[in-house]
Structure 1
Amino acid sequence: MNLTFPMALDYRLATGLDKPTLRPPECLAANASYCKLALCRPVTTPSVAMILSLFRKNTDTAPVYAVYNAIVAQSRQPVFYAEWGVPDTVTGRFDMISLHMALLFRRLRSDDRKVKEFSQAVFDLFFKDMDRSLREMGVGDLSIAKRIQKMGNQFFGLLAAVNAAMDSLNMQALDDVLSRNVYAEVDNPPVRKLSEYMVAQSDLLGGQSIEAIMAGNVTMELNA
């Protein structure tokens, strides 16, 4: 898919936000605390884009919004926070929506042009929402582009780490990815439960046709 960012940034350098981070490259938590995203409110029309293809014509369609809303809704499932130890914070909710986005993009891996365009449109909407949230919090135009790009690079680090672990069927590697990202500040979390959930959701998505997903029909389930 055409989800491309310049990858020259050193993820272990300062993020330009509140403080530098020494966490692994795929760790999202260091950048997420300032950004509300769509984690606590419905998705609405986003602001002007500041990242890559967001400069092109508006690609948001009803199916794109439907898929994005499904991801956000699944990421808000109370069991993640009440029973599985995910911090019930803006950072924790951002981690969960990012994980579900990673699962979606795994399913949509394809060389087909239309699939790539749909994947890009969902990605664009995700980062448009971050752009809007930053503006609502008073971040100036001169800072937003750099911050969005850094968060984009971190998201791609997470996506790569999840794909590597799941493609190799390495549950311990997936445990490690989730421990560093979702559970970095949690003692003795049930990380294997979340890893098994990720595998189950990937299998569930694998049974859904790409055509159905591109029509806005995506199903996720939660078997606690």
Structure 2
Amino acid sequence: MLFGLFKRDTAASAAAELYAAAVAAARRPALYADLGVADVVEGRFELVLLHTALVVRRLGTEGAAERDTGRALAEAYFADMDRTLREMGIGDLGVPKRMKKISAAFYGRLSAYDAALAADDREALRQALVRNVYDGVEAPGAEGLARLVAATAAELAAQPTAGLLAGRVAFPEPSAATPAGL
């Protein structure tokens, strides 16, 4: 019984590694320079959310261990957003209200991206990305980002579940979706 208290929480451990990989993937300069995502707080927020949501989506297609890791990944994302808000100087009274909006944004975007990907509807995916990532403004990089998101979803689907449960994930390079990569 006592030794159970010291047992490593594998879902949380894997989720922390998956989240770190999603954040690293969201910070790749090509997403901003080549695909035109605004390199501001909102643009970075959207890309971290997007990469995290794609992994949560992939984990949701499997069994209980995978769903647990997906939940832990979402929790890691929310904990990071909470910490970030506090670092930005948002007070204790303002954080819960903002976290409620962040939670709604996460699950709303996850639903929109999942529906478009499940239907293999590239235009619906592009429109969701324009609405969310590009703040409703048509952008030349939106088509490339839609290609990258579709490629990422396909690559995640092909990755071994055991690797994901161990915290290992690979994201395709953004250069494959840029005009030079065509």
Q: When the two structures are superposed, what TM-score results if normalisation uses the length of structure 1?
A: 0.69
2:164 maps to which residue? 213
2:65 maps to which residue? 114
Distance in 1 separating the partners of 2:82 and 2:139: 34
1:149-175: CA deviation from partner (whole Å, max 9, x where unpaired): 121011111011101111111111111
Aligned-CA RMSD value: 1.9
- Which of 76, 92, 96 matches 2:43? 92
Distance in 2 separating the partners of 1:213 and 1:86: 27
* Alignment check: 8 A CA contact 2:11 2:69 kept: no
The percentage of aligned residue pairs carrying the same residue is: 37
Structure whose residues are more often helix by fraction: 2
Report the number of matched residues.
167
1:172 maps to which residue? 123
1:141 is paired with a residue of what secondary structure?
coil
Gaps of 5+ in 1: 1-57
The answer to whether 1:74 aligns with 2:25 is: yes
Output the amino acid matched with 1:165: A
* Alignment check: 8 A CA contact 2:58 2:157 kept: yes
* Alignment check: 8 A CA contact 1:183 1:189 kept: no
Distance in 1 separating the partners of 2:123 and 2:33: 24
How much has 1:60 moved relative to structure 2? 7.3
Gaps of 5+ in 2: 1-8
How much has 1:189 moved relative to structure 2? 2.1
Q: Which runs of 4+ in 1 moved over 6 A?
A: none
1:174-222: CA deviation from partner (whole Å, max 9, x where unpaired): 1110111111265542211111111111111111122210101111121
Q: 1:119-138, aligned counterparts within 5 Å?
A: 119-138=70-89
Change (3 A) 1:107 1:187: closer
